[in-house]
Chain A
Amino acid sequence: MSAIPHDHLAGHDDAHGHHPTGLMRWITTTNHKDIGTLYLLFSLTMFFVGGCMALTIRAELFQPGLQIVHPEFFNSLTTLHGLIMIFGAIMPAAVGFANWQVPLMIGAPDMAFARMNNWSFWLLPPAAFMLILSFFVPGGAAAGGWTLYPPLSIQAGMGLDLTIFAVHIMGASSIMGSINIITTILNMRAPGMTLMKMPMFCWTWLITAYLLIAVMPVLAGSVTMLLTDRHFGTSFFNAAGGGDPVLFQHVFWFFGHPEVYIMILPSFGIISQIIPTFARKPLFGYASMVYAVASIAILSFIVWAHHMFTVGMPAAGLLFFMYATMLIAVPTGVKVFNWLATMWQGSMTFETPMLFAIGFLFLFTMGGFTGLVLALTPIDIQLQDTYYVVAHFHYVLVAGSLFAFFGGAYYWMPKWTGTMYSEKLGQWHFWLSMIFFNITFFPMHFLGVAGMPRRIPDYAQQFADWNMVASVGAFGFGFTQLLFVVVVVKCIRGDGAKAPAKPWEGADTLEWTVPSPAPYHTFETPPVVA
């Protein structure tokens, strides 16, 4: 496993010198740029599907009482919103960025296994279809939360079987994608590009891919056991047969906590590309950034039980998981410090990607701090399953992952489409997202501290005001995202200034050495990195 000089078509398993057009191009494509585009469009679609569910939830919670949906359907909405946003929107978006950018950034002609890359993507639409289909089967969709905890998940109807099947398929897709990314990065880098010269985005994805390889099979194993408990008479988690429902929580969160980092590490990589570009300075402390990402990934394996402080653990366990969780703040702090140090005395400009990067930095750090609050066992026991937790993870995953992906999309859109995006629309998109995001999720901290439980369609009168504010913010945030669709459509249609090969003065990675839009085949002759 070493970086070997490659020639075009030699390094991967498919000859795609010519390609079909129309629909067949997209179905049969083995080109990493096409597949990256498919991933990104799929994730944008699922983002709006999951977003519609979120808006229905917020509409129901606009005021106390039951107004719009039945409680059972509300529970299905919260469950499917989580599953769709995680497995359908955030993760495929990250893989889309990897498909487009990793080969371009390391000087490879394509991904190592091009046919498998196509397969990885085309597994996703049927899985998403199954998730949505589960709303229409007897018993309705899964309603026990995205964590699929037993005993609810053992008692649920056929919708849960569809969910398990969908999770299996999405997991297989993720594993195949990870194998491809690891192999491409380890074996197909341009001559001269050592691992410690790789762009940070590639580093974060290499580590993310290893995390996926380690934890997606654990999720697959746990839902397989759930399936056998439901249909084949086993009792892994079924207390009636001598099983242990809490065991599922342990196994699930052994996957679930690294999963949080799977969703955020690629965002760290994107931010680490954007900030140096617009600060016009090299990334401060590159090596420490690499080691910080690796440390975060390793620590993510030993903190899972902080999600389940209330199940009844020995005091030693509580203390271990509390301190281990707090330890993650150290490498995360290193990263935040390095981003700030990169900006320090830089010749900064504030185009849309940089705005999203700074927005990310500001809001993700807030999400990180509330994470530290929740890491404290005595406090977590009070705040467990309240809206404080909902606020925390939306600050991390919406203002963290999603803002970084928006920043990345604006940053690389000129390279992808050959057209400069509308800066005016981009700035509107950022500022409205920033304002409405905080209107939506900041009040949830107050609701959580006041004791409002999550996953309920009705609530006590004293929570009414902040819920109303949050719902107004949610609709504002949702409709603001239509601006992004307008930006993307305009770029795809070529409605804007033509993008030069390197539209950003401070950019210095390999993708900016090829024309915009990036040709169908790039780096047929590998570049030599000094």
Chain B
Amino acid sequence: MAADLSPKVADGARLRHANLRTALAVTLIAVLFFAGVIAAQFVGDSAVGMSVVAGAVLLFLVFAIGRHLRK
């Protein structure tokens, strides 16, 4: 049986929440990078600081996009 793809009222609320979740996650990455690059300079070892931040974000991207590939 084909899935019912017609819009529903509940879908609107779900979509808004999904949008907000996505936006918050992405904003968090931006804030992390902004604060991370300055904090790394204060700590003194910029290479380690930036590697940790970049690694965390890349892992996030792999998971965030990877789980969508089958949908």
Contact = CB atoms under 8 A, between A and B. Distances in A.
Interface in B26-71: 26-27, 29-38, 41, 46, 50, 54, 57-58, 61, 64-65, 68-71
Contact of B5 (A112, A210, A528): A528
Contacts of B8: 5, 7
A194 B33 contact: no
Contacts of B5: 5, 191-192, 526, 528
B16 A221 contact: no
Nearest to A188: B15
B50 A214 contact: no
Specify the main secondary structure of chain A where it touches its partner.
helix
B71 A251 contact: no
A11 B19 contact: yes
B19 A187 contact: yes
A187 B15 contact: yes
Specify the main secondary structure of chain B where it touches its partner.
helix
Contacts of A2: 18, 68, 71
Contacts of B12: 6-7, 9-11
A182 interface: yes
A254 interface: yes
Contacts, number: 130
A183 B58 contact: no
Contacts of A183: 19, 22-23, 26
A251 B46 contact: yes
B26 A213 contact: yes
B21 to A, nearest CB: 7
Nearest to A250: B46
Given A179-B23, A183-B19, A213 B30 contact: yes
Task: Name which of A4, A113, A301 has the most chain B CB atoms within 10 A of its CB.
Answer: A4
A52 interface: no
A423 interface: no
B48 to A, nearest CB: 13
Contact of B29 (A3, A191, A214, A254): A214
A186 B15 contact: no
Interface of A: 1-7, 9-13, 112-113, 175, 178-179, 182-183, 186-188, 191-192, 194-196, 206, 210, 213-218, 220-222, 224-225, 236, 247, 250-251, 254, 294, 298, 301, 525-526, 528
Q: What 6 A-B pairs are tightest by C-beta distance, nearest first?
A: A10-B12, A7-B7, A217-B34, A221-B37, A217-B33, A191-B5
Interface of B: 3, 5-9, 11-16, 18-19, 21-23, 25-27, 29-38, 41, 46, 50, 54, 57-58, 61, 64-65, 68-71
14 contacts: A2-B18, A4-B11, A7-B9, A11-B15, A113-B23, A179-B26, A187-B15, A187-B19, A195-B71, A196-B69, A217-B31, A221-B38, A247-B46, A301-B54
